[in-house]
């Protein structure tokens, strides 16, 4: 397993991580490339499950912290307010609409395993559809995000190939990486359907027959367990999809979030790496 990772998120920022160290880079509208050293979280050289859990939680923290830094430094007051409103609306829609849609299309009186699997399949499908809609909107409005995503993949692949890190080598590198977050997201969708399908069936059969809002909070309480299962399976999942050509779809889904990196995107990723 590699000791490097990259994150591109929402506004086209780039985070390059090595071991415990992380660096944020973004292109300011007025000040050129801005660099920030981020708090140390998780150790990519430690592949134990407990460290993977800490690293996953830490990377989520880095994502939100980095976007907060970028918004605070590069947005004016009006842009900050609009961004906050849009973010809250999307979070509310992404959180509750899948449950509401599933309640409308599902017979809640049944607690059988097939019925609960169907409920959670509908919920996960709606979540994926919303995510794809967000990707399409960002593709139209924020193409830099997808180019930066390509650049950080290229840099990580170049690092892992052992080649000298320079502009030409990074440019030639592939921007397909099996450890992309989109690949993990697809695994998470599949695992969550079966996990919540089984636990919902057991809880509704033997404990309590719950509906929309109760189901949401019960699912929320189980997220740490689901995340632990997901991170445990991740290594085996990567081996499976990288060794079987018929499962290449699970790797290629990341192409939805990639646009071939240009010079400024590659230079941004290189700048972050040089400041590690």
181 in Cβ contact with 256 (< 8 Å): no
User: What band does 270 get if pLDDT is binned at 50, 70 and 90?
Assistant: very high
Quick: pLDDT tens for 183-233: 888 888 889 989 988 888 888 777 777 777 888 888 899 999 998 999 888
What is the per-residue pLDDT for 168? 95
CA distance 193 to 243: 24
What is the per-residue pLDDT for 62? 81
Task: Kindly tell me if the per-residue pLDDT of 124 is higher than 90.
Answer: no
- 233 occurs within a structural domain: yes
13 in Cβ contact with 67 (< 8 Å): yes
- Kindly give, in sequence order, each residue whose CB lies less than 8 Å from that of residue 214, ignoring residues fewer than 6 positions away: 208
User: What band does 166 get if pLDDT is binned at 50, 70 and 90?
Assistant: very high
What is the per-residue pLDDT for 19? 74
Q: What is the DSSP string of the chain?
A: --SEEEEEETTTEEEEEETTEEEEEEEETTTEEEEEEE-----TT---HHHHHHHHHHHHHHHHHHHHHHHHHH--HHHHHHHHHHHHHHHHHHHHHHHHHHHHTS-TT---HHHHHHHHHHHHHHHHHHHHHHHHHHHHH-HHHHHHHHHHHHHHHHHHHT---SHHHHHHS-S--TT-HHHHHHHHHHHHHHHHHHHHHHHHHHT----HHHHHHHHHHHHHHHHHHHHHHHHHHHHHHHH-GGGTHHHHGGGGG-----HHHHHHHHHHHHT-
> How many domains are contained in the chain?
1
Task: Kindly tell me if the per-residue pLDDT of 108 is higher than 80.
Answer: no
User: What band does 11 get if pLDDT is binned at 50, 70 and 90?
Assistant: low
50: phi then psi, degrees, rounded to nearest 5: -60, -40
- 10 occurs within a structural domain: no
Domain span including residue 259: 76-274
Tell me how many degrees the CA angle 16-269-49 measures, rounded to the nearest 5: 20
- 200 occurs within a structural domain: yes
Tell me how many degrees the CA angle 60-66-72 measures, rounded to the nearest 5: 135
What is the per-residue pLDDT for 122? 86
- 226 occurs within a structural domain: yes
- 93 occurs within a structural domain: yes
Q: What is the mean pLDDT of the chain?
A: 83
Sign of CA dihedral 219, 222, 223, 228: negative
Tell me how many degrees the CA angle 229-135-243 measures, rounded to the nearest 5: 45
- 14 occurs within a structural domain: no
CA distance 39 to 273: 16
User: What band does 37 get if pLDDT is binned at 50, 70 and 90?
Assistant: confident
- 84 occurs within a structural domain: yes
Nearest to 175 by CA among 151, 200, 196, 199: 151
- 49 occurs within a structural domain: no
Task: Kindly tell me if the per-residue pLDDT of 249 is higher than 60.
Answer: yes
254 in Cβ contact with 142 (< 8 Å): no
- Kindly give, in sequence order, each residue whose CB lies less than 8 Å from that of residue 84, ignoring residues fewer than 6 positions away: none
Of the candidate ranges 63-67, 168-172, 236-240, 264-268, the one whose mean pLDDT is the lowest: 63-67
- Which residue is listed with tokens 């090595």? 18
CA distance 248 to 243: 9
Sign of CA dihedral 245, 132, 272, 36: negative
Task: Kindly tell me if the per-residue pLDDT of 1 is higher than 50.
Answer: no
């Amino acid at each position: 397993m590699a000791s490097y990772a990259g994150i591109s998120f929402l506004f086209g920022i780039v985070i390059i991580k090595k071991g415990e160290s992380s660096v944020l880079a973004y292109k300011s509208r007025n000040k050129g490339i801005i660099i920030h050293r981020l708090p140390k979280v998780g150790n990519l050289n430690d592949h134990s499950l407990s460290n993977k859990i800490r690293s996953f939680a830490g990377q989520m923290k880095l994502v939100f912290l980095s976007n907060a830094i970028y918004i605070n430094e590069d947005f004016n007051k009006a842009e900050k307010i609009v961004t906050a409103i849009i973010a809250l609306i999307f979070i509310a829609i992404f959180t509750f609409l899948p449950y509401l849609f599933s309640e409308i299309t599902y017979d809640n009186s049944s607690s059988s395993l097939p019925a609960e699997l169907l409920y959670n399949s509908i919920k996960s499908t709606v979540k994926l559809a919303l995510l794809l809609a967000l990707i399409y909107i960002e593709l139209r409005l924020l193409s830099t995000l997808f180019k930066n995503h390509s650049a950080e993949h290229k840099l990580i692949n170049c690092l892992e190939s052992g080649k000298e890190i320079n502009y030409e080598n990074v440019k030639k590198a592939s921007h397909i990486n099996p450890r992309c977050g989109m690949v993990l997201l697809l695994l998470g969708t599949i695992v969550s359907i079966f996990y919540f399908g089984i636990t919902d069936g057991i809880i509704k059969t033997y404990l309590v027959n719950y509906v929309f809002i109760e189901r949401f909070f019960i699912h929320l309480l189980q997220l740490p367990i689901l995340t632990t299962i997901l991170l445990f399976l991740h290594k085996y999942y990567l081996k499976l999809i990288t060794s079987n050509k018929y499962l290449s779809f699970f790797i290629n889904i990341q192409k939805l979030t990639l646009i071939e990196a240009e010079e400024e995107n590659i230079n941004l990723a290189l700048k972050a790496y040089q400041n590690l």
